[in-house]
Structure 1
Amino acid sequence: MHVTTVGLDLAKHVFQVHGIDQNGQVLIRRQLRRGELIGFFRRLPPCLIGMEACSTAHFWARELAALGHEVRLMPAAYVKPYVKRGKSDALDAAGICEAVTRPTMRYVAIKSSEQQAVLMLHRTRELLVRQRTMLVNALRGHLAEYGIIAPQGLPSVPKLIELAEKARSTVLPELAWRCIRLILAQIEDVHGRIGQVEQEILAWHHTSEVSQRLETIPGVGIITASAIAATISDPGSFRSGRHLAAWIGLVPRQSGTGGKVRLGHISKQGDRYLRRLLVLGATTLLRHARGKTSVTVGWINALLARRPASIVKVAIANKLARVAWAVLQGNQGYRAPAAAAA
């Protein structure tokens, strides 16, 4: 008998392997150091390897698939029910080995190195934007202690700086001004780096036919289009656009028993970054739809008449996700409704 299925518990240095044959008999239960992993699987005949989807799983999936193995990634939350009582690497690997054989298990598509690089650009931009927000908030807080305020928002920062320079010789001490200059230098540096990352995203967008098709959707810009294109490598893994919207977490959470189903707030499952980008795009569409009478925005205004704006935004984001799935699946750009085009 030979190994047909392997559960691999990933780590930084010590990996746990659990292998079974076609009858479920355990043949391998051992630990491997990082340097031993590739050599071990190179000696194994082609088999099914299951792993939990994590930050390093896509790299190892590509490496093991290159050796001829079939690799499947699974969400950790779906693997947990198959882990026996207790917590150890051996139990986790055994649970992964059991979960990967289940016919109803849902799998995560393996990302290419290019997809991971594009998503790294997005994560870097997100980090820098958070840092810029922290710096601007610190600047506002420090100047407010001396009675210097300005309207909220990044466009108002130059006005805040102008007010601080005018108050330098009056209410703002020289020592405080030196601290303000340090914060201003940080803001300028981070702002420039954000621009550099956005230029990299734009350059990749121009080379990606999928991202350019997604950009044709109203409410989807370059940032959102490139993020969707890099995240969703196989739209066929979703049966419909509704399943994609549910995966992103843009559907109500269901709670029911005895035939009674109650719908609550959105589930907020799946990719938080995509969900936030789609909601931001929906906010823009909502702002421009107010007072318009065209067919494309008529349903938005009709929904606004019955529901609060926060609920309408999520509904628009849900529709954007479904339209994005149709564009990905149909290999064509967005087509406006015929009545709107007329």
Structure 2
Amino acid sequence: MRYAPNVRRAQGTMKRRPAMKKTSTVRVNGNMIFKGHKLTIGVDLGDRWSNYCVLDEAGEVLLEQKVATTPEGMKQTFEKMPRSLMALETGTHSPWVSRLLKELGHEVLVAHAQKVNLITKSTRKDDRHDARTLARLARIDPELLGPVRHRSAKAQIHLTVIRARAALVSARTALVNAARGLAKSYGQRLHKCGTQQVSRELAAELSVELREVIEPLLKEIESLNERTKEYDVRMEKIARESYPQVALIKQVKGVGTQIALTYVLTLEDPQRFPKSRDVGCFLGLRPGRRDSGESQPQMHISKEGDPYLRTMLKAACFFCCLP
């Protein structure tokens, strides 16, 4: 007996077995598997999605899942879990994720990404395996992760002002070099002056054809100079209203508001350094060490820590050395 297509499809649907729920989904919804366990969770942060692995006190994997790398997704997933030790690597999303997880009551370890060799040098690297490795290292010995401390939200937004200004200065330098290079390739030159004095008037002595090409670049440089001055005013206001210690640091020759404020915001809490010389190690200004037996080779500085602040400090040193 032949059936119409729609009737045959309906009968096939009736005979089909119902879909089985995933075990992991049932566990998360019931939240029963986490009761009575001391949990350790490793989170491998991605730009869109993050993988996490949940271990019990014996090191057994209880759950491996994905979560959206958004405040809503993180809160929905981890606020229902009991207080746990959570480990994640440093990265773009690690500052706000670590603050959010602490607000949810978890103990958070932020691993130094370059010091976790089991992940960086692994020949079997994927997000799921990295999350499991973070969880296992955090469970065994947190010091293996080389834990770092993220600054507060207030310090981060203030430091973002300095970083945004640095991005404008870098773009301005590239445009000035491009304008001068284009003029030279045409057999002409722009007058020598400081970057902050560059304006469309420099193109007055160029040929008509070249002036039409160079003037838009000089116009953008003028705009960047104005935006940079606005950031300078904002930095002065931040230093004056929120960080009085900046005025003390500025008493050192060669140190201005930008360097002093960057120094204060990068360290944030100086009490965490037992000795003042530890600050130099924190900024990567100490020599590296690779001793073996009687061999003690002289190494360059380690260059660990914040590279921008290290650049600012070197600029201040060069200024102090001037006659």
TM range (shorter): 0.7 to 0.9
Please give the alpha-carbon distance, in whole angstroms, between the structure 2 residues aligned to 1:204 and 1:12: 31
What is the TM-score of this pair, normalised by structure 1? 0.75
Alignment of 1:265-280 (within 5 A): 265-280=300-315
Q: Is the 8 A contact 1:122 1:227 kept in 2?
A: yes
Cα drift, residue 221 of structure 1:
1.6
Please give the alpha-carbon distance, in whole angstroms, between the structure 2 residues aligned to 1:218 and 1:132: 27
Partner amino acid, structure 1, of 2:188? G
| 2:210 aligned with 1:194 | no
Once the two structures are superposed, what CA deviation does each residue of 1:36-64 show, in whole Å capped at 9, x if it has no partner?
A: 32122111111111111112111011111
Please give the alpha-carbon distance, in whole angstroms, between the structure 1 residues aligned to 2:137 and 2:272: 18
Quote the residue 2:148 is aligned against: 108
CA-atom RMSD in angstroms = 2.3
Quote the residue 1:66 is aligned against: 103
**Counterpart of 1:61 in 2: which secondary structure?**
helix
> 1:267/1:22 Cα in 2 relative to 1: closer, same or farther (>3 Å)?
same
**Counterpart of 2:288 in 1: which secondary structure?**
strand
Once the two structures are superposed, what CA deviation does each residue of 1:154-174 show, in whole Å capped at 9, x if it has no partner?
A: 36746x945x42x34xxx1x1
Once the two structures are superposed, what CA deviation does each residue of 1:113-143 show, in whole Å capped at 9, x if it has no partner?
A: 2212112111211111011111111221223
Cα drift, residue 89 of structure 1:
1.0
Quote the residue 2:19 is aligned against: none
> 1:103/1:67 Cα in 2 relative to 1: closer, same or farther (>3 Å)?
closer
Partner amino acid, structure 2, of 1:44? M
**Counterpart of 2:322 in 1: which secondary structure?**
helix
> 1:2/1:213 Cα in 2 relative to 1: closer, same or farther (>3 Å)?
farther
Q: Is the 8 A contact 1:4 1:19 kept in 2?
A: yes
**Counterpart of 1:261 in 2: which secondary structure?**
coil
Quote the residue 2:74 is aligned against: 37
Quote the residue 2:285 is aligned against: 250
Alignment of 1:132-151 (within 5 A): 132-144=172-184, 145-151=186-192
Cα drift, residue 180 of structure 1:
2.0
Alignment of 1:122-141 (within 5 A): 122-141=162-181
Please give the alpha-carbon distance, in whole angstroms, between the structure 1 residues aligned to 2:82 and 2:224: 50
| 2:195 aligned with 1:154 | yes
Quote the residue 1:175 is aligned against: 209
> 1:155/1:14 Cα in 2 relative to 1: closer, same or farther (>3 Å)?
closer
- Which of 83, 93, 98 is equivalent to 2:136? 98
- Which of 212, 221, 237 is equivalent to 2:247? 212
Q: Is the 8 A contact 1:220 1:281 kept in 2?
A: yes
For structure 2, the 5+ residue unaligned runs are: 1-35
Pick the structure with greater CA Rg.
2
Please give the alpha-carbon distance, in whole angstroms, between the structure 1 residues aligned to 2:138 and 2:272: 17
Please give the alpha-carbon distance, in whole angstroms, between the structure 2 residues aligned to 1:100 and 1:238: 24
Quote the residue 2:54 is aligned against: 19
Please give the alpha-carbon distance, in whole angstroms, between the structure 2 residues aligned to 1:212 and 1:71: 34
> 1:133/1:17 Cα in 2 relative to 1: closer, same or farther (>3 Å)?
same
Please give the alpha-carbon distance, in whole angstroms, between the structure 1 residues aligned to 2:80 and 2:315: 50
Partner amino acid, structure 1, of 2:244? E
- Which of 112, 115, 118 is equivalent to 2:158? 118
> 1:54/1:257 Cα in 2 relative to 1: closer, same or farther (>3 Å)?
same
Cα drift, residue 228 of structure 1:
1.8
Q: Number of aligned pairs?
A: 281
Moved more, 269-278 or 215-224: 215-224
Please give the alpha-carbon distance, in whole angstroms, between the structure 1 residues aligned to 2:180 and 2:318: 26
> 1:157/1:40 Cα in 2 relative to 1: closer, same or farther (>3 Å)?
closer
**Counterpart of 2:291 in 1: which secondary structure?**
strand
**Counterpart of 1:46 in 2: which secondary structure?**
coil
| 2:131 aligned with 1:89 | no
**Counterpart of 2:148 in 1: which secondary structure?**
coil
Quote the residue 1:284 is aligned against: 319
